[in-house]
Structure 1
Amino acid sequence: MTTAARRRSLPGFGLTMGLTITWLSLLILIPLAGLFVKTAELSLAEFWAIVTAPRTLHALKISFGLAFAAACVNLVAGLLIVWALVRYRFPGRRIFDAIVDIPFALPTAVAGIALTTLFAQKGWLGAPLAALGIKVAFTPLGIFLAMIFIGIPFVVRTVQPVLLDLDVEIEEAAESLGASRWQTIRRVILPSLVPAALTGFALAFARAVGEYGSVIFIAGNLPNVSEIAPLLIVIRLSEFRYADATAIAVVMLIAAFLIIFALNRLQNWAQTRSLAPV
């Protein structure tokens, strides 16, 4: 059967493809195109002056740098959490498994207030840390912790189904053939988990970069200190500097797209390599 025949055998392919393209255009492509149209009102010199302003560069550095660092922490912590939830049985396991989803369901403003209260200088965790000379609330460290909080479920829920499908018998077979524990992890377990782990990493990073509600409360929002790029965009909008806001948004959009695209390519490479015969 030819490729064309196989495609025609799918019922409603033309209709579903048309609806898909229509919805993608209405919900994603057209709004994003509006950013570029509004930014086009600026000259190249004006655009460059906006995106290279010290305040803008610092906000972008805070958002992207801390989001990447938080995604790295979530990748490691998420793998450990998944391993404990899937491979072990212990009292309260289902409760801990449900707790992982709290950042999904919790309103971002509530999460921000809770973290700020917890890590304030008189908070339950903030007070002992302040005694050690470590200030969390209203600093980049607070932003970092908030990004970890909202990103951890993405890694856990992306990797968990893959580890559930990975039979323990495969690990036992590797060990019976003389493989050490580290060799089993490196040659058997990790190749199967890497594509899903990279997907979770990309999702956690993307969420952290664009996060607003849970971050602004604990950030303090001090220019050139703890101001995130999404907040700077909101400030520019409140000042009716719409072109400035869209210029910063375009830079964030392009940078985030390039990073996620590179991660997706890396994920595809890892998945192809894991499926290749040894």
Structure 2
Amino acid sequence: MTSKRFDLLLILPLAIFTLAFLILPLARLAVEAGSGPGGLANFVAILTEARFRNSLFVTLILAVVTTVATLTVATIAAQTLANRKFLGRGLLLSLLTFPLAFPGVVVGFMIILFGGRLGLVGGVTKSLFGTNVIFAYSLFGLFLGYLYFSVPRVLLTILAAAEKLDPSLVEAARSLGAGPFAIQRDVVLPALFPAMYTAGALCFATAMGAFGTAFTLATNIDVVPMLIYTEFTLATNASMAAAISIALGLITWVTLAIARSHAMRGEGV
């Protein structure tokens, strides 16, 4: 078999996947978005109608806050675990990555058990203060669900980068008189930035489009995934649902492209 034929054989599965799972579905989505009663005006309505605009704004803010909080928790945890041997390290890492086994619906159910009407927090606060504190169905509850869902995924990416960091660089900075904060600012974080950009972008994209957790918790919150669902099922407005889906996809695609560019720049590519 010639090299050219072999290359074509390798490209064939990628071409089939791209056509079947990317090009054709996106093309059908675009046709649906432009063929409804509203036509291309559906895209304008996303920014001009208060319901759609507010939903997009809330989803963006929630995704940004989730990403920042996840990166903070995961970066601290990764530096604690990287290149350190201590009793219980394996158990701690297993517990931190345990949520990988749960789909979004299960995560949402766990938040309900924690902060719902019959949840643990409500029971404790009612017995202590006589007030049943409920937060599972609020933006804070949804944020906790997204955070719980995202931390292990981001942690594994940053941990892999932290374990590759040369300890001699930190020792050299310390021997030159650099304090802990200066070492973080000038040595550690710059080395972790490519992984943080990539993991943060994936976290943002997941938070923007997460449906299972939102379906379980967002009973009174119109985040974009729930908006798409209600437009398609309850309002039977498939063209509007398609337009919102395309807008959501474009936002996450731009975010991933920017993160990839920064990550490559950080690696000196």
In the superposition, the TM-score normalised over structure 2's length comes to 0.87
Any conservation in 2 of the 1:62–1:140 contact (CA below 8 Å)? no
Alignment counterpart, residue 64 of structure 2, candidates 61, 68, 80: 68
Q: How does 1:83-162 map to 2 (within 5 A)?
A: 83-127=79-123, 135-162=134-161
Q: Answer yes or no: is the 8 Å Cα contact 2:214–2:226 preserved in 1.
A: no
Task: Determine helix, strand or coil for the equivalent of 2:86.
Answer: coil
Other structure's SS at 2:82 match: helix
CA RMSD across the alignment: 2.5
Corresponding residue for 2:249? 253
- The answer on whether the counterparts of 1:51 and 1:251 sit within 8 Å (CA) in structure 2 is no
SS in structure 2 of the partner of residue 58 of structure 1: helix
- Structure-to-structure mapping, 1:156-171, within 5 angstroms: 156-171=155-170
Counterpart pick for 1:26 among 10, 16, 20:
20
Match of 2:6 among 4, 12, 24: 12
1:201 aligns to what?
200
Aligned to 1:3: none
Do the aligned residues in 1 keep the contact of 2:63 with 2:208 (CA within 8 Å)? yes
Select 2:40's aligned residue among 31, 38, 44.
Answer: 44
How many equivalent pairs are there?
262
1:114 partner amino acid: M
Q: Distance in 2 between matches of 1:41 and 1:105?
A: 40
Q: Residues 64 and 50 of structure 1: is their aligned pair in 2 closer, same or farther, counting only changes over 3 Å?
A: closer
The 10-residue stretch of structure 1 (49-58 or 80-89) with the greater mean CA deviation from structure 2: 49-58
Q: 1:29 to 1:46 in 2, by over 3 A?
A: closer
Q: Which amino acid aligns with 1:228?
A: V
User: How far apart, in 2, do the equivalents of 1:14 and 1:33 lie?
Assistant: 25
CA distance in 2, matches of 1:51, 1:93: 48
Q: Does the Cα contact within 8 Å between 1:129 and 1:135 map onto a contact in 2?
A: no
The match for 1:237 is: 232
Amino acid of the structure 2 residue aligned with 1:108: G
The amino acid that maps onto 1:217 is T
Structure 1 gaps of 5+ residues are 1-7
Mapped to 1, the partners of 2:230 and 2:67 lie a distance apart of 26
Tell me, in whole angstroms, the C-alpha distance in 2 between the residues paired with 1:54 and 1:128.
39
Provide Cα deviations, 1:114-152, integer angstroms capped at 9, x if missing partner: 111111144223455685896412111111111111111
Residues 162, 192 of structure 2: 8 Å contact kept: yes
Indicate conservation of the 8 Å contact 1:150/1:208, yes or no: no
Q: How far apart are the structure 2 equivalents of 1:101 and 1:24?
A: 31
Which moves more between the two structures, 62-71 or 72-81?
Answer: 62-71
Cα distance change, pair 60–168 in 1 and its aligned pair in 2 (3 A): same
Q: Deviation at 1:184?
A: 2.6
Contact 1:109 1:214 in 2 (8 A): yes
Answer yes or no: is the 8 Å Cα contact 1:195–1:267 preserved in 2: yes
CA contact (8 A) 2:108 2:217 kept: yes
